[in-house]
Amino acid sequence: MRKRSITALLLAVMLTSAACSVGGGNEPSPSTGTATPSPSTEPTETPSDAGQTAENSATTPPDDKGPSPSPTTSPKPDSGNKESSSGKGSSSAGESAVQVADNADSAVQVTANAEAATALVNKQFRLPKGYVPDDLVYPNIPFIFSEKVDKRKLRKDAAEALEKLVAGAKKDDIKLAGVSGYRSEARQKTLFTNYVKKDGIEAASKYSARPGHSEHQTGLSMDVSGVDGKCAAESCFGDTPEADWLAKNAADYGFIIRYPEGKQDITGYKYEPWHIRYVGVELARKLEASGDTLEEHYGAAVPVSGSKN
């Protein structure tokens, strides 16, 4: 009897111990398997969302953001130029660079005598917006192309003088031809924008004019070459008999070499032995005798960054 009681007591103790052991093992499980993971994942998602919002703000156009236009607008021309030089840029990139350059030069003035043969047009003095000469004609000279297009044209007085110049050269066994004359402001904008896309605005500005600043728009300038077109509008033209004849005789017909060698820091453009500009015989001979450019004649030398090209 006593033995049976001891056995029963031992059995009761064992059952109580087992029950406690099972309850203690279940406590950690609810604590790891309930809502604890959910709150911990929400905070990790929230910073991610905030970061995405910041990224979107950084890519918002500066006009929408408003606060700092200067730092955000200055890189645009550079990135546009890089894209375009690889052949992948959009036309708007070049146009933006042109606009930035135009707006940056507060010293630009509108020339007061656009119709005069002696008008000064350069980086500081531009033609009136949309200027078109009213006396453009086709000079009767050979051209290196056959199409009858605007770039054949010159103003009447300049065209007549060019005909005499070409005829005079022919007497000396020099055969000249026209390459490019009148150019509209819209056409100049297209050309300059493309040059900016290709070479960047600093380089393009050394050999091409911004729209409104081109002598070709005056209808008083013509690029010339030999009738074979070799070295047309290229530096090698300076080594030809045609270039030599022009340098010695152009003034007698009222023309000057507008961008002479050694004057790049004054004119703002590289040497162009093919680019002749009609100014009338009196002024042309005066400039030939003095060796001055139009800028020096008017006392309006153009400040240029850097030295000769």
- pLDDT tens digits, 251-260: 999 999 999 9
Check residue 112 and give its pLDDT.
84
* Between residues 176 and 309, the one the model is more confident about: 176
pLDDT at 66: 33
Q: Express each pLDDT in 236-251 by its tens digit.
A: 999 999 999 999 999 9
Work out the average pLDDT over 8-29.
42
143-164 mean pLDDT? 98
Catalytically active residues are 272
Q: Which of 125, 270, 276, 273 is CA-nearest to residue 204?
A: 270
Tens digit of each residue's pLDDT (9 = 90 or more) over 66-102: 333 222 223 333 322 222 223 333 445 556 555 545 5
What domains does the chain contain, in order, with CATH numbers? 94-298 (3.30.1380.10)
**Per-residue pLDDT reduced to its tens digit, 192-215:** 999 999 999 999 999 999 999 999
| Residue 48: pLDDT over 90 | no
Phi, then psi, of 180 in degrees rounded to 5: -160, 125
The residues pairing with 257 across neighbouring beta strands, listed in sequence order, are 276
123 pLDDT band, cuts 50/70/90, is very high
